[in-house]
């Protein structure tokens, strides 16, 4: 009997095991192609580049669009150099200005001075992408603040005519990006009014999607809720932990609720993976005043690990400047980011490792652990249906120092793993060093550096037997971080090296520190603020760290609230707007109708001001985030004159961050007054911090 069973088992093992059944929703062919891209770029460029806005009102003259040296090849080469696989161009942003000579509107490049009205940015950039071997995609804003018919059915006809032009005249597109943003008011052919639409029905999306499928069958469509890939719920480039590729698609539409978009939903009814969209600068469009605020290589790496490393695609915006080229500072940051990534992934220490799985599906070599290191996405390690929590020991053969482990699931079988853990064999025992949840297209576990010759993967929870297609072990080159820059309440700045190089050189004028820059010896006063750039190195100047760059506003030590129109009891007092604490909020009670709240502050001394800053609440509901404001200054707190700055804060709801607004001149003032005229939603006003700058 025993012998008989043994033979039967041996017989079973010889017979080829069948592949596992897919679990839950699975990707389409076109989604698989999109997953493969992992990293591509956005190009935000339009009249806003020339008017210094994030959202144009729609009344901009075509005359303002006039890049002095537009160079599509320079932009495409920058993307290629950064390792991007494609570019998505804002062919029409919310202001309605078209970067191609659409035959359905006069509001386009054809009436601009650029190339005498004969230019076509879409043509030039799509051609340049092809020359560089990059894919090309289009962004066509559904919200159009210029068009007279916006809000009526005639507009949908217009929108589809434009879309058809883009879908048919510029070759193959890899994506069509449908933005959900809509702020209501606009120029609308001169009506200058607020037009509210019902996002669920107004655009009749199913028929627009049909058009895309028919004319560009391989293009993946983006919107908050899909159909092909979704918004990740923030514009800072950060996927959730977990970040499932699945969501419950019912009831979702472009511009709909963002609940569940960051983490996805499990098991979910639809495969709609997330795209992390983020700009290399604070804004989506180029503003010269942000030249010193380009994200550092270290920041870009954090974004990469939190997006591509969590199974999403990363869409990183490179906004061309007024020449029509990617700015030098953006290029420098992107280049260093790429250099570090390439150095990291050049060597996979698991390549020749001996892999020992606790179980292999049917004992069949087709599902063997060796598939994890064969460099192919189409082969995978799997186990018997009943074995959902297997383990895998990776013997590297020699001690290796690493800090990144890469895992991939075989996507055609769905997202199967719920949770996993990684252990390293240290001092004679297994030590857990990472716990994760979703894997999907790719999971990069970035950890402290570990040295070990063996590691272990434990699948700790799975909805179905796992199907993993890759395991890699890598080490990031050691990067020396820039010094810590801190200012105390008395206005004294301390610099502290964060690495072996004890010598710190710094600048206060925005330039890069070099051998001739001042040497830091002791804390120095900087009550008026400025831009501190600091770099540490060995005494002979070698082993230089990254440059730490910190923009400091005028110190608030002696500031006092003089008056405030309203506050919400003790929970929302006005002092919270100037307490240097981003998590305390000045909040006014709800108030319907005309919405104007204000705060007046005495800075205790006269300052030379060049601008002000507004920080919205970074967490919680968007209720009260200011979208229309006025900012006044005064020497005596009595006479105020015209606002030093006023207008709309475009896109602040989706992209919550510090807004810095420069006056364009220097103003002497002891008092300032901030007036909130409108909020993105709700009837309160919410201010985490107001500051002023003097740089
Ligand atoms: C948002 C827009 O409102 C921004 O201006 C930007 O285009 C971003 C990518 O999408 O919803
Ligand atoms: Ca505060």
For residue 500, the model assigns a pLDDT of 60
- Residues in CB range of 150: below 8 A, 6 or more apart: 143, 144, 186, 188, 195
| Domains along the sequence of the chain with CATH | 30-344 (3.20.20.80), 354-474 (2.60.120.260), 484-552 (2.60.40.10), 560-693 (2.60.120.260)
For residue 478, the model assigns a pLDDT of 85
For residue 127, the model assigns a pLDDT of 98
Percentages helix, strand, coil for the chain, rounded to the nearest 5? 20, 30, 45
Flag whether pLDDT at 293 surpasses 50: yes
Residue 503 phi/psi, 5° resolution?
A: -90, 130
Q: What whole-number percentage of the chain has pLDDT above 70? A: 97
Angle at 131 between CA 178 and CA 167, to 5 degrees: 30
Flag whether pLDDT at 674 surpasses 90: yes
Flag whether pLDDT at 6 surpasses 70: no
Index of the ligand 1 atom closest to the CA of residue 54: 5
Q: Identify the nearest ligand to the CA of 559 by its number.
A: 2
Among 88, 97, 186, 655, residue to substitute to test ligand 1 (most atoms within 8 Å of Cβ): 655
Q: Across residues 427-446, what is the average pLDDT?
A: 97
For residue 11, the model assigns a pLDDT of 42
Query: Ligand 2 centre and the CA of 612: distance in Å?
Result: 15
Query: Ligand 1 centre and the CA of 94: distance in Å?
Result: 9
**Which residue, judged by its Cα, is nearest atom 5 of ligand 1?**
651
Note residues around ion ligand 2 (Cβ under 5 angstroms): 576, 579, 581, 584, 689
Among 96, 231, 654, residue to substitute to test ligand 1 (most atoms within 8 Å of Cβ): 654
Residue with the two structure tokens 């386009």: 108
Index of the ligand 1 atom closest to the CA of residue 44: 7
Q: Across residues 653-674, what is the average pLDDT?
A: 96
**Which residue, judged by its Cα, is nearest atom 6 of ligand 1?**
284
Flag whether pLDDT at 543 surpasses 90: no
Confidence label for 499 from pLDDT (cuts 50, 70 and 90): low
Q: Write out pLDDT tens, residues 296-351.
A: 999 999 999 999 999 999 999 999 999 999 999 999 999 999 999 999 999 999 99
Q: Residue 234: how many CA atoms within 13 Å on its side-chain side?
A: 15
Pocket of ligand 1 (CB under 6 A): 54, 179, 181, 277, 284, 651, 654
For residue 593, the model assigns a pLDDT of 63
Q: Across residues 168-184, what is the average pLDDT?
A: 96
Query: Ligand 2 centre and the CA of 564: distance in Å?
Result: 15
Q: Which of 99-108, 378-387, 545-554, 599-608 has the lowest mean pLDDT?
A: 545-554
Query: Ligand 1 centre and the CA of 178: distance in Å?
Result: 10
Note if the bond before 485 is cis, omega within 30 degrees: no
Confidence label for 9 from pLDDT (cuts 50, 70 and 90): very low
Note if the bond before 227 is cis, omega within 30 degrees: yes
Among 284, 286, 316, residue to substitute to test ligand 1 (most atoms within 8 Å of Cβ): 284
Q: Identify the H or E element spanning 671.
A: strand 659-679
For residue 569, the model assigns a pLDDT of 79
Query: Ligand 1 centre and the CA of 224: distance in Å?
Result: 11
Flag whether pLDDT at 7 surpasses 60: no
Flag whether pLDDT at 81 surpasses 90: yes
For residue 16, the model assigns a pLDDT of 79
Query: Ligand 2 centre and the CA of 616: distance in Å?
Result: 9
For residue 489, the model assigns a pLDDT of 86
Flag whether pLDDT at 404 surpasses 90: yes
Q: Across residues 176-202, what is the average pLDDT?
A: 95
């Amino acid at each position: 009997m025993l012998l008989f069973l043994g033979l039967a088992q041996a017989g079973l093992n010889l017979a080829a095991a069948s592949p596992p059944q897919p679990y839950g929703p699975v990707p389409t062919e076109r989604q698989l192609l999109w997953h493969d891209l992992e990293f591509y770029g956005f190009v935000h460029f339009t009249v806003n580049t020339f008017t210094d806005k994030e959202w144009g009102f729609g009344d901009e003259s075509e005359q303002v669009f006039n890049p002095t040296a537009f160079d599509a090849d320079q932009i495409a080469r920058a993307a290629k150099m950064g390792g991007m696989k494609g570019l998505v161009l804002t062919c029409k942003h919310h202001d309605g200005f078209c970067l191609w000579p659409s035959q359905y509107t006069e509001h386009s490049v054809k009436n601009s001075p650029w190339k005498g009205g004969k230019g076509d940015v879409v043509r030039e950039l799509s051609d340049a992408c092809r020359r560089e071997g990059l894919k090309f995609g289009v962004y066509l804003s559904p919200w159009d603040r210029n068009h007279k018919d916006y809000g009526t059915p005639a507009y949908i006809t217009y929108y589809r005519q434009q879309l058809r032009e883009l879908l048919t005249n510029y070759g193959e597109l890899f994506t069509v990006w449908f933005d959900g943003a809509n702020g209501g008011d606009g120029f609308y052919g001169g009506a200058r009014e607020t037009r509210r639409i019902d996002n669920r029905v107004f655009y009749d999306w199913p028929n627009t999607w049909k058009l895309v499928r028919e004319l560009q069958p391989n293009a993946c469509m983006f919107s908050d809720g899909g159909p092909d890939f979704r918004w990740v719920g923030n514009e800072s480039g950060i996927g959730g932990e977990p970040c499932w590729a699945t969501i419950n698609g019912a009831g979702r539409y472009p511009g709909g609720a963002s609940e569940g978009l960051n983490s996805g939903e499990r098991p979910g009814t639809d495969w709609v993976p997330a795209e992390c969209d983020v700009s290399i600068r604070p804004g989506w469009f180029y503003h010269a005043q942000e030249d010193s605020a380009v994200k550092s290589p270290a920041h870009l790496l954090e974004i990469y690990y939190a997006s591509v490393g969590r199974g999403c695609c990363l869409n990183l915006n490179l906004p061309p400047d007024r020449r029509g080229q990617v700015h030098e500072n953006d290029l420098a940051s992107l280049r260093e980011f790429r250099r570090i990534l390439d150095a990291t992934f050049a060597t996979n220490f698991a390549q020749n490792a001996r892999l020992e799985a606790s179980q292999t599906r049917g004992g069949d070599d087709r599902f063997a652990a060796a598939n994890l290191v064969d460099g192919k996405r189409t082969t995978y390690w799997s186990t018997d249906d009943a074995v959902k929590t297997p383990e895998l020991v990776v013997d590297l053969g020699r001690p290796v120092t690493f800090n990144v482990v890469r895992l991939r699931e075989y996507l055609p079988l769905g997202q199967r793993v719920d949770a996993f853990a990684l252990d390293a064999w240290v001092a004679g025992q297994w030590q857990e060093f990472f716990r994760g949840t979703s894997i999907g297209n790719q999971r990069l576990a970035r950890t402290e550096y570990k040295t070990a010759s063996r590691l272990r993967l434990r699948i700790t929870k799975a909805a179905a037997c796992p199907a993993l297609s890759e395991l890699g072990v890598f080490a990031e080159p050691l990067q020396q971080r820039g010094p810590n820059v801190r200012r105390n309440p008395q206005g004294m700045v301390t610099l502290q090296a964060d690495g072996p190089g004890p010598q710190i050189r710094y600048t206060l004028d925005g330039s890069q520190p070099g051998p001739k820059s001042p040497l830091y010896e002791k804390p120095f006063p900087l009550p008026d603020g400025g831009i501190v750039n600091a770099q540490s190195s060995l005494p002979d100047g070698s082993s230089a760290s990254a440059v730490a760059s910190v923009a400091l506003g005028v110190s608030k030590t002696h500031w006092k609230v003089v008056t405030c129109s309203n506050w919400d009891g003790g929970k929302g007092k006005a002092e919270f707007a100037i307490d240097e604490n981003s998590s305390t909020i000045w909040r006014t009670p709800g108030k319907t109708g005309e919405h104007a709240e204000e705060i007046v502050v005495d800075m205790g001394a006269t300052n030379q001001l060049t601008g002000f800053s507004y920080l919205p609440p970074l967490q919680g509901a968007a209720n009260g985030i200011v979208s229309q404001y006025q900012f006044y200054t005064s020497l005596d707190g009595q006479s105020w004159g015209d606002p030093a700055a006023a207008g709309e804060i475009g896109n602040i709801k989706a992209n919550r961050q510090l807004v810095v607004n420069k006056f364009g001149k220097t103003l002497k003032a002891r008092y300032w007054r901030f007036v909130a005229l409108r909020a993105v939603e709700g009837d309160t006003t919410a201010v985490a911090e107001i500051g002023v700058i003097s740089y």
